[in-house]
Structure 1
């Protein structure tokens, strides 16, 4: 949880600073792709606030209304972030970019002076801001990537694609995806502005804005899909469930595992229920075996937090 929080805080600081710089550059230049990046960074900054709220909400202790805790709150807020990323940043960027393609206009060309320094061509300002944004995003992306790589190593996943399919830490996943998109978006805007300046044709800047919008909407849909699986109560991977089943069968007091079910109840938190046939024993010994199984399952996978063993006749 601490890793997820630090990743989100790093992204919040980076995106907040970048949003201010991009808006300043847009006011000076009127660049369509820069406006798309303003929408993008404002959306990202708001999204980090939602993610932090989700982390704090999920830390609440279990109670009568939520006996398994509030861990799924992070799934909900991450899903909400994907909707906002699609609806605000993606759609507004695409709409504005399309408008600029249909009605191209030349960005501001008058030199500007900043804090008594200059004058500079306006596109210089955009380039400097975007290079600074790329630097900030590299920092935030590195934090998110380090946390995701740690989880990949811990769980023995093959790489990023498998982590996307199997991780339950949707907060880190969302921050990682947002930072990757932000890097790609800033790069597209930079390319569009430079091509427009080199050719004198504003279509490149406008097309860059459209590409940023499409990129945002595509990744937003992918994030929504990944969050849906956890909101609906996804189980552990089949191979992991087989290992848990083997852990139960390894106990001398167990005759058979008649059924085993798992479900994520929060990021890195799993509920395990098992129907178990025991070797003939008295009640006191049965209690001891169940306690051993509880400890063994939690030791076998650190994500297992709650265990229910149902003795079968």
Structure 2
């Protein structure tokens, strides 16, 4: 039990904050929907329920992925967060389907809802709270990717960097962006439906909110399916390779792999040294390289093998994400 509590303390903080906030919002939206019967509010209610459940599972998965390796699982539990996220998107997928289905029904058979004051009040509170969580996720994205920003630059830079954030943070970012945008869309739809004869506005908003939820489902599914299979990080691979080749004792790099293990990076490389180097000298070189590579953000495990220089240059320094060593 004590081990579980220690692991939970290491869980993704953005996810648990988002889960709690969305649970509160879901309750408020559910009360508003049952009082008014507003279909846009129904869509938002399902959205918040899905987000709250999703983000809670993400928090649990991110925490359990920190568990130390065991005899049965010597490679650790890093990819567990990817598996949890794959399961979590099923919840969002179901909620997306129900949201779109209800929206289509309302478009075909439009009805006028009541309680505009209640709906607008609840949605306004929800947008403010979800916007707060989104802003926290934006700052977490920048923190995890090593980008500094202040003011409005936090918003703009986070959209360019979120793909490089940890899986759990990326999910929270996407879900709360869609939640905030969906809340604003629902407000517009309710105002249109109330002050014009366009009763289908709420149904259209519901379909659009469901569509945005499906976007999150697709994005998260493909990202984490790649993580479960074992995805390489080409950008960090080239960065580490370019750094290692500049070491005065390294003659060449035969092979280098940077594998994503959930929120961590596992690095393996085989470098060529001069054949005259002693074991003691090689050991010093290894320690130096391991320390330098371990300082890279996200790297938690480094394995280095040595071979004697064969005189054929394999590694070519490059700043592109797709370059690789030439085949021998």
Q: TM-score, normalised on structure 2? A: 0.83
Structure 2: stretches of 5+ with no match in the other structure: 1-7, 150-155, 309-328
Pair 1:309-2:307 in alignment: no
Deviations 1:261-286 (A, max 9, x none): 1101121x211111111122222322
Match of 1:276 among 253, 261, 271: 271
Give runs of ≥4 in structure 1 deviating > 6 Å.
Answer: 1-4
Cα distance change on mapping 1:73 and 1:143 into 2, 3 Å: same
TM-superposed deviation, 1:4: 6.7
CA deviation after TM superposition for structure 1 residue 308, in Å: 1.2
SS of the counterpart of 2:98? helix
| CA drift at 1:96 | 0.7
- 93-102 vs 63-72, which deviates more? 63-72
Q: Is the 8 A contact 2:142 2:148 kept in 1?
A: no
**2:142 equivalent to 1:136:** no
Structure 1: runs of 5+ lacking an equivalent: 110-121
Secondary structure in structure 2 of the residue aligned to 1:261: strand
Find the aligned partners of 1:155 and 1:170 in 2 and give their Cα distance: 20
- Measured against aligned partners, the alpha-carbon deviations of 1:278-306 in whole angstroms (never above 9, x if no partner) come to 1222223222222222112113x132211
Could you tell me the TM-score, scaled by structure 1's length? 0.87
1:78 to partner: Cα distance: 2.1
**In the alignment, is residue 16 of structure 1 matched against residue 23 of structure 2?**
yes
**Preserved CA contact (<8 Å) 1:54 1:77:** yes
Conserved? CA contact 2:133–2:176, under 8 Å: yes
Counterpart of 2:215? 218
Cross-structure match for 1:181:
178
Between the aligned partners of 1:166 and 1:234, the Cα distance in structure 2 is 13
Aligned counterpart for 1:125 among listed residues 106, 118, 123: 118
The correspondence of residues 53-132 of structure 1 with structure 2, limited to 5 A, is 53-86=60-93, 88-107=94-113, 109=114, 122-132=115-125
Show the counterpart of 2:252: 256
Matches of 1:97 and 1:281, distance apart in 2? 71
Q: Does the 8 Å contact 1:15/1:45 carry over to 2?
A: yes
Query: Between Structure 1 and Structure 2, how many residues are aligned?
Result: 294
